[in-house]
Amino acid sequence: MTAKCWDKLARNRAERLARAQTLVRGRLVAANDIVALFEALIEPGDRVCIEGNNQKQADFLARSLVKTDPAKLRDLHLVQSVLALPEHIDLIERGQVSRIDFSFSGPQAARLARLVEAKKITIGAIHTYLELFGRYFVDLTPRVALIAAHSADREGNLYTGPNTEDTPAIVEATAFKGGIVIAQVNEIVDKLPRVDIPADWVNYVVEAPTPNHIEPLFTRDPAQITEIQVLMGMIAIKGLYAEYGIKRLNHGIGFDTAAIELLLPTYAAELGLKGKICTHWALNPHPTLIPAIEAGFVESVHCFGSEVGMERYTAARPDIFFIGADGSMRSNRAFSQAAGHYACDLFIGSTLQIDLQANSSTATLDRIAGFGGAPNMGADARGRRHASPAWLRAGREGRGEIAMPRGQKLVVQIVETFREHMQPTFVERLDAWELATTASMELPPVMIYGEDLTHIITEEGIANLLLCRSPAEREQAIRGVAGYTPVGMARDTAMVENLRDRGIIRRAEDLGIRKCEATRDLLAARSIKELVLASEGLYDPPGQFRNW
Amino acid sequence: MNRRRVSYFEASARVRVHGLVDENSFVELCPAELRKTSPHLASLDAPLAFDDGVVVGRATLAGSAILIAAQEGRFNGGSVGEVHGAKIRGLLELALLTKPVAVLLLVDSGGVRLQEANAGLIAISEIMRAVLKGQSAGIPVFALIGGSCGAFGGMGIVARLCNEIVMSEQGRLGLSGPEVIETVKGVEEFDSRDRALVWRITGGKIRRTLGEATRLVDDLIPAFRDAATRLLARYVELPPVTLDDLQQAQHRLTERTGRFAEVSDGQQIWQQIFSESAGIAGLTVSDFNRLLGDQP
Amino acid sequence: MTRPDNSVIGRLNNMEKFTLSLQSQPQQRHCITLCGVVSSGNLEVLVEKTQHPDSCEFEISTSALGFRDIWQAVLKDFAARHAAGGLKFSINDAGATPAVVSLRLDQAVEICSREVT
């Protein structure tokens, strides 16, 4: 009887590293040798993570992977949060990747949908971030992780800095389960500002010929905020934030929530809400939050990632952001997602479609975009065991008088009744159903389930779904704020008026908001330039947002 | 509720006029309810505006009688059609009769309205002639430029005929617009999507540096009002233009053409003048004016 | 020259025009008011006085074709929401959403009932 082997993963890793021996010098690999290194290290059927974050991309490693021999590197299983680069999809087209598990495909959504339809790829599942990170530690552990860092020292320690994002979660899962970690860095230096990832979790480091690409995903130019968005922002602040006393929260990335951020130092301050709302955030460093921070509204912000141009500003506000001993910010998507889920009282974001059960989705027929983080933030945290006034009040409203006190998270969709080209936001049936059929998905891709949604804000007012006592009331509450969309026009007028009398629907006038006041002059900054001025010149916006 | 400072760039033509002149002093001529709309747009079945995109009237500024016209940049790019042009020309000709202290043109226009090209071109030439007539009758004309369309095409020429040009940083002044240049000469000649470059070439700061704009002000309606009021005080009497004035101006232009012959970016001009260029674009208006030695 | 904005320039028969008269509470205070600008996704509203204190009149010219039922619903709600009797609203629209139309009408009636001449 042969002795049982307990270290097959480690032995296999050692064999792979041995095959690479001639291509490396310690932990360092030359950029020219990276394709050969991949061919030596990666085996058919491997689970591979090409670090693709919301922002930071391991783009050089992705480009190099596309240059490998499809006969050698095949049947790969991609496990990564974002499929944002064309190369990610090229690998599928080249037949090197046969299965993917991911969270978000953003710019590649349309190409991915075509490949799925052509049966060139199998989607395991579209996850939320925390769910995918969770599976890294259960059944989707990467065999090879190709990651991106800002810099490395000669031992292989990494500095990921403000854009640390997903890196710790990926590396921890890979390095401690017999996997291989390869990092691309912008530069190799003698001394790092600080160590974000220790060298003995990293197998190889390569200096990329060009710095890794970072997308300014969270910059919203205040010049594009409309009066309607200002009005909805006023409704949110007065009818929701002030009512519930919401201090801990997360915002989506749309213009609607950017408007709220820019109304804090003006409208909310005039309502006497400074210190009473919006003090603690799980949020990327949105440039539109600068005026609120400068006005002293904000006490703390933990970030999923960074934002291009915000590095100097965050570093200069260490009381607000999470800053290392070196003076630069550190983000961490996994922790910030957990914070958004468990430690925030409110999530507010936008969507493309809402149905009559209040399910919402950003999926449309020809795009498989995925979710990212919204479902983690936009769901009641059923494991939560600490109280806050906002959470308790939502619980009382939603559960009625029950013996056991329990709170509920406020989950809010803020939408205009019509999107561009007069597309109604409110629909009888989500496009997600049809997408699920055409792409053979087991679940329609719903961003936020109706049972988690507590409020809908439109230019027509707020619908408080917590207070609805029957599915019929809920439906009329939704129709009641759906304006002149077909869904809205089909409302039962008497029932909607009854809901309004009971405060389930509240219109701007019910909240004492004068629509005449809803002008862009109420925004604390009306241009990127004014954001720069508010930051005392510390915010350095990328070129496409400048006119100076 | 505390009103925030009103951005000139963001305001409509009507809001600019009301914010600029003395309170309740504005009397609109040819107002919207007369519905003097464009017959050309109507025949094309395109949307009309009741004032054809320009507000004209009389008012007082710090107590002095003025005439004022304001183009609405958001209606068809502030473009000059037949009616639009006639309203401005009419206002300038009215000045010959009523003798205001000055005429203020709040320019926000890409130039002639394409849909009424011939009528618009004629209108521009009529406006130019009316400006010169007013000036020779001793009435100064000021251009104020700070809207989203800037002052381009024929309205760029009209602006340069004016005695003073007050600009904000956001304002732009030129002949052919960046998009037109790119279309005709290619993206290598002028990348109209490089916003920073567009402003370094046509924006308020570089125009003030070159002396084309005579004042650079913050993007606030009161800032434009203050500048216009101060300038007004200097024009108690407008001396007639002499041949000597024209020759001096010609000399200055020749000298400038020689000095900046090889320049392709406003930054190079700043480099030559201030031996420093990187920080200029980011300076606040007051710091920039201080650098230039301008009084507020 | 300014090139035409594609959303604003029209082909022939590209404008929908109609009038509507609706019951509304009489508005005592009024002045002639112009609110808004005709630009893509926006509209202007001209408010004038009429001789009929119990109804308000609308004259619509819009570049968005095929939304007459939505216009009627928006205007009906507006006439019920405000005392707009005795007023005529002339609208030049370049494809505004119902939200913008409602907001602009609310602003117009607020301005003209505030500024008494």
Token couple for A185 = 């860095």
Residues of chain C with pLDDT under 50: 1-11, 116-117
How close C32 comes to chain A (CA, Å)? 17
A94 shares its domain with A231: no
Backbone angles phi, psi at B292, to 5 degrees: -80, -10
- For residues B130 and A58, what is the distance between their CA atoms, to the nearest angstrom? 63
Q: State the residue range of the domain holding A490.
A: 222-278+343-527
For residue B87, pLDDT over 70 is answered with yes
Q: Shortest CB distance from B32 goes to which of C14, C46, C63?
A: C46
Q: Which member of B32, B112, B115 has the closest CB to residue C34?
A: B32
pLDDT in tens, B99-113: 999 999 999 999 999
CA nearest B112: which of B82, B67, B136?
B82
Residues A252 and A372 in one domain: yes
Q: How many domains does chain A have?
A: 2
Q: What is the 3-state secondary structure (H, E, C) of A285-329?
A: CCHHHHHHHHCCCCCEEECCCCCCCCHHHHHCCCCCCCECCCCCE
Question: What chain C residue is nearest to A422 in terms of C-alpha separation?
Answer: C97
Kindly report the nearest CA distance between residue B195 and chain A, in angstroms: 5
Q: Which of A521, A543, A547 sits opposite B199 (nearest CB)?
A: A547
Q: Is domain B13-240 in CATH 1.10.10.10, yes or no?
A: no
Q: For testing the chain C interface, which of B10, B45, B79, B180 should be mutated: the one with the most C CBs within 10 Å?
A: B45
Alpha carbon distances (Å) from B271 to A214, B12, B50, B195: 31, 36, 47, 20
Supply the CATH number for residue A377's domain. Answer: 3.40.1080
Answer yes or no: do A382 and A261 share one domain.
yes
Q: Does A548 touch chain B if contact means CB atoms closer than 8 Å?
A: yes
Which residues make Cβ contacts (< 8 Å) with residue B182, sequence separation at least 6?
B189, B190, B191, B192
Kindly state whether residues A90 and A64 are assigned to the same domain: yes
pLDDT at C10: 43
pLDDT average, residue stretch B14-29: 97
CA-wise closest residue to C63 among C13, C2, C24, C113: C13
CATH number at residue A33: 3.40.1080.10
Q: Determine, for residues C14 and B46 on separate chains, whether the beta-carbon distance falls below 8 Å.
A: yes
- CA distances to A113, B294, C17, C38 from C13, in Å: 39, 54, 10, 18
| The pLDDT value given to residue C6 | 47
DSSP tag of A511 = G
- DSSP string over A475-488: HHHHHHTSTTSHHH
pLDDT in tens, B146-201: 999 999 999 999 999 999 999 999 999 999 999 899 999 998 889 888 888 999 99
Q: Which other chains touch chain A, taking contact as 3+ CB pairs less than 8 Å apart?
A: B, C
Q: What is the CATH number of domain C16-114?
A: 3.30.230
Say if the Cβ atoms of C107 and A516 lie within 8 Å.
yes
CB neighbour list of residue B268: distance below 8 Å, 6 or more residues apart: B260, B262, B277
Residue A119, SS3? coil
**Mean residue pLDDT across chain B:** 93
| 3-class state of residue A94 by DSSP | coil
Which stretches of A395-514 are assigned E, i.e. beta strand?
Answer: 410-414, 455-458, 461-464, 505-506
Whole-number pLDDT of residue C110: 84
Of A526, A532, A546, the CB nearest to B10: A526
CA gap B173, A202 in Å, rounded: 56
Q: Is A546 on the interface with B (CB under 8 A)?
A: yes
Beta bridge partners of C91: C45, C60
- Contact list in B for residue A266 (CB cut-off 8 A) is 2, 4
B193-229 pLDDT, tens digit per residue, is 888 899 999 999 999 999 999 999 999 999 999 999 9
- In the structure, what pLDDT confidence band is assigned to residue A106 with cuts at 50, 70 and 90? confident
* Cα distance from N-terminal residue to C-terminal residue, chain A: 77
Q: Is residue B196 classed as helix, strand or coil in its secondary structure? A: helix
In chain C, % helix, strand, coil (3-state, to 5) comes to 25, 30, 45
Chain C residues touching residue A416 (CB < 8 angstroms): 97, 99
Chain B nearest C-alpha distance from A12 (Å): 52
Please report residues of C whose CB lies closer than 8 A to that of A417.
97-99
For chain B, helix (H) and strand (E) counts, in that order, are: 12, 7
- Share the mean pLDDT of chain A: 95
pLDDT tens-digit readout, B229-282: 999 998 877 777 889 989 999 999 999 999 998 898 999 999 988 887 778 888
Regarding whether A377 and A492 lie in a shared domain, the answer is yes
Residue A370 has pLDDT above 80, yes or no: yes
What gap in Å lies between CA A94 and CA A97, rounded to an integer? Answer: 8
Work out the minimum CA distance from B200 to partner chain A, whole angstroms: 7
Q: Which of A171, A420, B295 is nearest to C64 (CA)?
A: A420
The interaxial angle of helices B13-20 and B221-233, nearest 10 deg, is 50
- B5 by DSSP, 3-state: which? coil
What pTM was estimated for this model as a whole? 0.92
Task: State the Cα torsion A57-A58-A60-A61 to the nearest 10°.
Answer: -150
Pairs of residues, one from chain A and one from chain C, whose beta carbons lie less than 8 Å apart: 39
Is residue A253 assigned to a domain? yes
Same domain, A504 and A397: yes
CB contact under 8 A, C97 and A516: no
Give the chain B residue whose CA is nearest to the CA of A538. B282
Interchain pair C98, A484: CB under 8 A: yes
What pLDDT was estimated at residue B17? 98
Shared-domain flag, residues A372 and A434: yes
CB B131 within 8 A of CB B158: yes
Question: Measured between alpha carbons, how far is residue A493 from residues A467, A476, A480, B50, B287 in Å?
Answer: 18, 9, 8, 37, 59
CB contact under 8 Å between B180 and C1, yes or no, is yes
Q: Are residues A171 and A231 in the same domain?
A: no
Give the Cα separation of A375 and A389 in Å (integer): 23
Q: What is the pLDDT of residue A515?
A: 85
Residues in contact with B91: Cβ distance below 8 Å, sequence separation at least 6, in sequence order: B29, B56, B57, B67, B68, B69, B103
Cβ neighbors of A227 (< 8 A, separation 6 or more) are: A518, A519, A520, C100, C103
- Chain C nearest-CA residue for B176: C1
pLDDT at residue B295, rounded to an integer: 66
Q: What is the ipTM of this complex?
A: 0.89
pLDDT at C11: 47
Decide if A250 contacts A340 (C-beta within 8 A).
Answer: yes
For residue A543, the chain B residues in CB contact (below 8 A) are: 194, 196
* Residue A199 contacts residue A21 (beta carbons within 8 Å): no
Q: What residues does each domain of chain B span? A: 13-240
Residue C49 sits at φ, ψ, to 5 deg, of -90, 150
Q: Do B46 and C39 count as a contact with CB atoms less than 8 A apart?
A: no
Same domain for A51 and A195, yes or no, is yes
